[in-house]
């Protein structure tokens, strides 16, 4: 069943693309200042890059609730599609909030939501149709709805107190000091391939107009501080190389990366507009853009700086790029040293790679996260 679904995906994608070239960019990095960083909570929206187990009860191929997923996570399997911690886990730790609970976990209620809630669902996209071929998922629109109709009323029913000074906070004040984490879009570009859409500019415009409404809705619901991820170079995913660049498996698919760069440029323009339109507001409204594309290549172009030995093959899987037999079959071998791999499976980074990337969003260069980084955003 799982194998069949992936097989269908692979066939669909193979039908679409085949040629390519290579890609690389490089750049330097440094760090910034520090001080008291206070975020009240974090609310997470997105897909498998952020999903802590919200798909576990759904009928879908997009889940990781079986071994070897969770092999390095304290307590083992949770549904995270990774060997260990994923993006929001690392950022929650850096902000001193710890792990943010999954919305679908029945215990995520009452005082358990005071550090935030994670709504992310594997295979979810900006468009409702994205990820449908994998099965059920909570789309981004549904995630926003869950925040509006369940989490917000529950926050309103509780006494909110600031972490610093233990002052009473209104829900609006609480939300204005919370981080809204949004990492979405990968499945919309898989959808572009699967559905065989032709006009990439029109498709990106469609995504941008829908996503503009979604971000404005989160703003209307009280969000004031946003961390919005661009997309990583998806042409460098082991599966993308296997499908589109099999004859030169050392190189990423430049054709796919070009499309991703186009999306990132449009998303950046949207974020600049949002910042411009909301500048000067009392609650300190900021939409941060995380250039994960650049941050990702900084690592994969200099792997030894980070202890990585393998930037192309997946740790879990077998065959060419460890992507012909997928980790998601539950039957593939796991590499002997997970710290040497950038990719855990054919689509997702390892815990270590997530940690390096998120550190960039937290206190890295403004070249990667602008107009500020997360740490600067929460220094009051
Ligand atoms: C920003 O404001 C301009 C001028 O009012 C408007 O045309 C544009 O749609 C706004 N953009 C966003 C993303 O809100
Ligand atoms: C695993 O790889 C890391 C990074 O290269 C290295 O520091 C560590 O010693 C390795 N562990 C083992 C058990 O070989």
Is 345 catalytic? The answer is yes
Identify the three-state secondary structure at position 17.
Answer: coil
Whether the ω angle into residue 82 lies within 30 degrees of 0, i.e. cis, is: no
Q: Which ligand is nearest to the CA of 285?
A: 1
User: Is the pTM higher than 0.85?
Assistant: yes
Kindly report the protein residue whose alpha carbon is nearest to atom 11 of ligand 2. Answer: 337
| Residue in 207, 272, 273 to alter for ligand 1 test, most ligand atoms within 8 A of Cβ | 273
Q: Which of 23, 47, 48, 121 is catalytic?
A: 48
Is 348 catalytic? The answer is yes
Q: Tell me: the pLDDT tens digits for 236-282?
A: 999 999 999 999 999 999 999 999 999 999 999 999 999 999 987 87
Q: Tell me: the pLDDT tens digits for 117-168?
A: 999 999 999 999 999 999 999 999 999 999 999 999 999 999 999 988 899 9
Q: Work out the number of other CB atoms within 10 angstroms of the CB of residue 68.
A: 20
Report CA(90)–ligand 2 centroid distance (Å): 21
Instruction: Give the span between the Cα atoms of 152 and 155, in whole angstroms.
Output: 5
Is 276 catalytic? The answer is no
Q: Tell me: the pLDDT tens digits for 330-353?
A: 999 999 999 999 999 999 999 999
Q: Which ligand is nearest to the CA of 278?
A: 1
Kindly report the protein residue whose alpha carbon is nearest to atom 1 of ligand 1. Answer: 277
Is the C-beta atom of 340 inside 6 A of ligand 2?
yes
Q: What is the DSSP string of 297-334?
A: HHHHTSGGGGT-SEEEEESBEESGGG-SEEGGGT-S-B
């Amino acid at each position: 069943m799982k194998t069949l679904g992936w097989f269908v995906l692979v066939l669909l994608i193979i039908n679409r693309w085949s040629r390519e070239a290579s890609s690389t960019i490089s750049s330097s990095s440094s760090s910034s200042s520090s001080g008291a960083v206070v975020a009240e909570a974090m609310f997470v929206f997105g897909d498998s890059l952020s999903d802590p187990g919200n798909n576990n009860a759904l009928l879908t191929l997009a889940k990781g609730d079986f071994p070897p997923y969770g092999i390095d996570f304290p307590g083992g399997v949770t549904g995270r599609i990774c060997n260990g911690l994923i993006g929001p886990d690392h950022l929650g730790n850096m902000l001193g909030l710890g792990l943010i609970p999954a919305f679908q976990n029945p215990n995520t209620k009452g005082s358990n939501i005071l550090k935030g809630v994670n709504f992310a669902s594997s295979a979810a996209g900006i468009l409702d149709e994205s990820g449908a071929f994998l099965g059920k998922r909570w789309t981004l629109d549904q995630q926003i709805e869950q925040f509006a109709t369940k989490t917000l009323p529950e926050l309103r029913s509780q006494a909110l107190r600031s972490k610093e000074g233990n002052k009473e906070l209104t829900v609006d004040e609480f939300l204005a000091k919370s981080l809204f984490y949004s990492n979405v879009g990968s499945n919309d570009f898989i959808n572009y391939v699967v559905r065989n859409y032709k006009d990439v500019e029109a498709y990106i415009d469609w995504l941008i107009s829908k996503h503009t409404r979604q971000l404005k809705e989160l703003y209307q619901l009280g969000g004031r501080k946003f961390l919005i991820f661009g997309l990583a170079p998806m042409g460098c995913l082991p599966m993308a190389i296997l499908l589109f660049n099999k004859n030169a498996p050392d190189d990423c698919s430049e054709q796919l990366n070009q499309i991703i760069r186009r999306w990132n440029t449009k998303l950046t323009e949207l974020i600049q507009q949002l910042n411009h339109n909301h500048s000067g507001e009392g609650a300190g409204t900021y939409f941060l853009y995380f250039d994960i594309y650049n941050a990702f290549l900084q690592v994969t172009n200099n792997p030894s700086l980070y202890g990585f030995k393998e930037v192309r093959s997946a740790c879990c899987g077998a065959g060419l790029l460890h992507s012909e037999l997928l980790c998601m079959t539950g039957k593939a071998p796991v590499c002997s040293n997970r710290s040497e791999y950038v990719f855990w499976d054919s689509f997702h980074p390892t815990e270590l790679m997530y940690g390096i990337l998120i550190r960039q969003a937290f206190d890295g260069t403004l070249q990667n996260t602008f107009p500020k980084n997360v740490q600067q955003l929460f220094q009051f």
